[in-house]
């Protein structure tokens, strides 16, 4: 299966450096809409046959632009939602550091985060839902090209789950393409190549 993963376009909170997570339902900014339109060219190189999206507004608006371009309908999957930061949603990393939680940013970068004490989720919860999603896709869409609109934190976890070197950036409206084959071993996914 070929998996095209697209990060949603920019929002006002992205520009301000605020954590959006699952609890923020910001729309795309005008710049974000333009970014998605530019990304259509790269997506068209792979001709998706099915399109999934996080149900959050910024992702859904991105998916709607893609759907219109390729004549696809959009199916929502909760597994594609951004990580839940709990009560830290809407704050910047500087504001979080000023609250006495300066180490959280490094924990986040190193996939050692745990936002449960703030009412959010931990990295294991996120990994589990991404693995479930990939397993579902490998059964339902074995030989298809799947496009998924999701969030920066989810894209980073996807690279981690597939044991692929992290990209330098997961910028808004960035496009990440993988060829994945299912096999039955300790790791249920065999990454054929990162395109």
**Cβ neighbours for 49, distance < 8 A, ≥ 6 positions apart:** 72, 144, 145, 146
Buried b / exposed e over 17-46, threshold 16 CB at 10 Å, is ebbbbbbbebebbebbbebbeebbeebeeb
**127 marked as part of a ligand binding site:** no
**46 marked as part of a ligand binding site:** no
The one-character DSSP state at 88 is G
* DSSP states along 64-85: HHHHHHHT--EEE-GGGSPP--
82 given a catalytic annotation:
yes
**182 marked as part of a ligand binding site:** no
**Which among 26, 82, 151, 176 is annotated as catalytic?**
82
8 given a catalytic annotation:
yes
**11 marked as part of a ligand binding site:** yes
**14 marked as part of a ligand binding site:** yes
**7 marked as part of a ligand binding site:** yes
**9 marked as part of a ligand binding site:** yes
Binding residues for substrate: 7-14, 58
Binding residues: 7-14, 58
Active site residues: 8, 82
């Amino acid at each position: 299966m070929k998996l095209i993963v697209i990060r949603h376009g920019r929002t006002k909170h992205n520009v301000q450096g605020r954590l959006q997570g699952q609890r923020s339902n910001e729309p795309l900014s005008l710049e974000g809409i333009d970014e998605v339109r530019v990304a259509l060219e790269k997506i068209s190189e792979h001709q998706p046959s099915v399109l999934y999206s996080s149900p959050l507004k910024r992702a859904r608006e991105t998916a709607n632009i893609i759907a219109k371009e390729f004549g696809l309908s959009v199916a929502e999957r909760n597994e594609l939602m951004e990580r839940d930061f709990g009560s830290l949603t809407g704050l910047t990393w500087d504001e979080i550091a000023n609250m006495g939680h300066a180490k959280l940013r490094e924990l986040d970068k190193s996939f050692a985060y745990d936002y449960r004490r703030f009412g959010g989720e931990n990295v294991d919860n996120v990994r589990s839902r991404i693995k479930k999603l990939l397993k579902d896709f490998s059964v339902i869409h074995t030989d298809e090209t799947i496009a998924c609109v999701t969030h920066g934190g989810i894209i980073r976890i996807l690279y981690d789950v597939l044991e692929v070197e992290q990209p330098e950036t997961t910028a808004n409206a960035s496009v990440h393409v993988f060829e994945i084959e299912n096999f039955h071993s300790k790791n249920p996914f065999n990454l054929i190549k990162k395109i």
